Chain A
Amino acid sequence: MARRTRDDLVERPGHELDTQPQESEVLQPKIGFLGLLRWMWRQLTSMRTALFLLLLLAIGAIPGSIWPQRNIDAGRVSDYLSQHTVVGPWLDRLGFFDVYSSPWFAAIYLLLFVSLVGCIIPRSRLHWKAMRAQPPKAPRRLERLSAHQERVVVGEPEQVVAAARAVLRRKRYRLRPADPVDPASADTVAAESGYLRETGNLVFHIALVVVIIAVALGHLLGWRGDVIVPEGQTFSNTVSSYDTIDPGPWVNPESLKPFSVRVQKLDVSFEDQAGGAQFGQPRGFTAHTLTRDEPGAPVKEQKLEVNGPLSLGGASVFLLGNGYAPVITVRDAKGRVVYSQATPFLPQDNNYRSVGAVKVPGGDPEQLGFFGFFLPTLEFDKEQGPISSFPDLDNPALVLGVYKGDLYPGGRPQSVYTLDTDEMTQVKGADGQPLRLLIKPGQTIKLPDGLGSITLDKVVRFAGISIRHDPGKMLALWGSLIALAGLIASLTIRRRRVFVRVRPAEPETAGAGPDGSAPPGPRTLVSIGGLAKGEDPRLADALDHVLDAIAERTGSTS
């Protein structure tokens, strides 16, 4: 029943408001290969296929929210694989850990993209024609349209027609010019409005194409890198300074702009009032930085905050993480410094129990490695041993095990935060148990076997910084805002056709003005019919308003 308006359109082939290409269900089997291609193209660009692909895209996106994704958190993927040895490899083969770069997901969105383009082109052509065409002639029987009303107004028929034309023009309808050849058409007005509905719809779909292109540009030409910068240190933007960098396929890694960022100080605060799960939650992070656009350029003092990135050399600098970097000094037996630097430890939980490693390749007589935890607020738990009970530096301590031997067996690449102990032996204490050091700031602990000593000088914070360059970003933003505008136009503007026909009123209805006391004079019966594309609950109201305006213009009402 809600479809009434559209069914009306279908009944009257000359009156289609749809610029949507007709979907012909008839296929001609004899056309051969080209015909088959044409048929496939038409299927692909049909509304039904678009709908099907949309639903497929929705369903296809879901697994990526259920299973961990490599590009987001590779660690969780390997955890999952080691825990699910049966289903894991199968899910992996099906691409469930790389959903958004898997071939099947790409197939869905590429088909949708093609369907979208294939849909936009013919619709734009049809709409272009419709925009320049005249509104069609009025149908013979206006009362058969989906909305129809009649009213008697004061005035000669010609005056009323003129009034109707004026009213409709004021309401921004396009009028069909009066036909000079056909005098019978002089009593009729045909008008149409709301072309912007289809324009909005096309703008929306075209803007979606723009957004998709922008995303692709960002993927191909963009890059992102992550780096950890302790307080007091400077990062300069070259490929080798990054801890990890992920350039797009079309990026030349040598072309990065040589800006630099020095982290002076990192201000961090944590919830220490509210109880429950909120206790210890982070409340504020701010990095005070000194930046340079290139070496030798003037230094700028800038604040880098969680929602406040810096903009440098066409890239954006974000503060995404933070943690502690204990400043550790290792001396050999003769008191010579063999290692001294701020060593970032990676936070593992909300209370910043952090893991890390100290690698001393210059250790004398042997290479030395330390591995363990940094705990900002040390506490001893009966079961778990030393833990951290609050994320801030209330009772900081390092808890380390000590290894000696070959730090880099076979020259294999390894993480800075763990030790590869394959070729190392654990140093034992006087009791024969593996040695475990507990070091507080300012303390120095002497190592056994003439290995020297280790000092925790102080603890600084580090900023986890992520730097991104995405050349498609602004295009994507503009595309999506224009899409939104087009969408609103296409959902709120009504495409309507209005037809008015007048004839001299019959004597017995002539006296019945709307308020019963119309001024004397000739009377005309106005018949108005309307037709809309899609849902249009206000069509009848709109006709009413047109009639009111005509009546007012002809002086039928006060």
Chain B
Amino acid sequence: MTNETLATYSNYGLYSAIVVFTLVMLMFAIDLAKAASWTAKVRTEDHERALVGAQVSGAAAQQEPETSESPETAETTTEVSRPRQFAGMGMSLSWLGTLLLIVTLALRGLSVDRPPLGNMYEFALVGTTFAMLVFLGLSLRRDVRWLGLFVTGPVLLTLGLALTVFYTQASQLLPSLHSFWLVIHVTVATLSVGLFTVAFSVTILQLIKSHREQHPPAKPTFVEAMPSAASLDRTAYGLHVIAFPLWTFTLIAGAIWAEQAWGHYWNWDPKEVWTFVIWIVYAAYLHARATTGWSDRKASFLALAGYACILVNYMVVNVYFVGQHSYSGM
């Protein structure tokens, strides 16, 4: 029933994707390292210009604090002028790596003649593919080259784990997985996990950036070359707002499927419990943003807590907790 040749080619696909994503990470890392030295240089130049200006007229010097106060304008000037061929290569290779992941999945699916959504190894591949597609989709709408390292980093880590820890031989499904709800429920779940993952990276960057904005460091690093904390916050919120209804749908679709497969739409099975907990925590995040007395910064920590729950749901619940969702293939 399993076509071994296709399964083997699928594995080769994964190896190549891992190689490509390693290169991608390298490219984005070099780009960010250059950003740090560039910002430092631009700053000293600005500073010198300001000093020169101060000798000409006092008014010019007064402008200096103004530019540093609105980081978005400062950042656009540096962004425009900085040569970024490494980030460009990173982006092109990201497309290549994602394509390889899609091929890997397609071959895997073909080799067993079913959607590749049956065990943790396959979930990991689909999840990383979605995370990359979210990143690439964002990149079509605006400049997110600063985010590259922080998406491909987790992606590479997950692929590594998939290969070493979660790897499962290609085979058929358990009877309870024979349902088109598998495709609907698991696809939407992994898509929202992909979105939550990118949102998580942006949220972390936002927290670092907002700390840096409050306590500007003496020596600028790549963080200073990133968008402002407010802009990062908006990006993170935008991603969460798409991911949350998708997760809500995951929950509902899971309940419908549970009703068909096990006879009750809600059994408080560990997997269900954690899906619910994740949903509640992200609902709390959305609430917190609308609650007086909760700063966006504080609310962001709830988003991080939500992501921690996603990790628990995937890594701990699948493997260690006894329940009806025993599909890890391990």
Report which A residues bind B (CB closer than 8 A): 1-3, 20, 23, 47-48, 50-51, 54-55, 57-58, 61-62, 64-66, 68-69, 71-73, 76, 99-100, 215, 224, 271, 273-278, 281-285, 305-309, 316, 318, 320, 466, 468, 470, 473, 476-477, 480-481, 483-484, 487-488, 491-492, 534-535, 537
Contact = CB atoms under 8 A, between A and B. Distances in A.
B1 A273 contact: yes
A72 B267 contact: yes
Given A71-B268, A99-B268, A466-B262, 6 more contacts: A54-B283, A66-B270, A72-B269, A470-B264, A483-B248, A537-B238
Contacts of A73: 322
A278 B171 CA distance: 7
Contacts, number: 163
Given A76-B322, A284-B178, A477-B256, A274 B172 contact: yes
B330 interface: yes
B186 to A, nearest CB: 14
Nearest to A222: B264
Contacts of B237: 2, 535
A463 to B, nearest CB: 13
Contacts of B179: 307
B2 A309 contact: no
A62 B273 contact: yes
A69 B290 contact: no
Given A61-B276, A276-B169, A307-B179, A282 B174 contact: yes
- A-B pairs with lowest CB-CB distance, top 5: A1-B230, A274-B171, A65-B270, A318-B263, A65-B273
B263 A309 contact: yes
A306 B276 contact: no
A65 B234 contact: no
The main secondary structure of chain B at its interface with chain A is: helix
Given A51-B294, A100-B268, A468-B264, A2 B234 contact: yes
B244 A491 contact: yes
Contacts of A277: 168, 329-330
Contacts of A71: 268
Contacts of B170: 274
Given A274-B172, A282-B175, A2 B245 contact: no
Interface string B98-115: 000000000000000000
Contacts of A100: 268
Nearest to A46: B291
Given A65-B321, A309-B263, A484-B248, A54 B168 contact: no
B15 interface: no
Interface string B272-293: 0110110011011001101111
Interface of B: 1-2, 168-176, 178-179, 181, 228-230, 233-234, 237-238, 241, 244-245, 248-249, 251-252, 255-257, 259-270, 273-274, 276-277, 280-281, 283-284, 287-288, 290-294, 296, 302, 309, 317, 321-323, 329-330
A285 B175 contact: yes
Given A50-B287, A68-B322, A318 B262 contact: yes
Given A1-B229, A476-B265, A61 B273 contact: yes
A3 B264 contact: no
Contacts of B329: 277-278
Contacts of A51: 284, 287-288, 291, 294
Contacts of A308: 260
Contacts of B248: 483-484, 487
B130 to A, nearest CB: 19
Contacts of B244: 487, 491
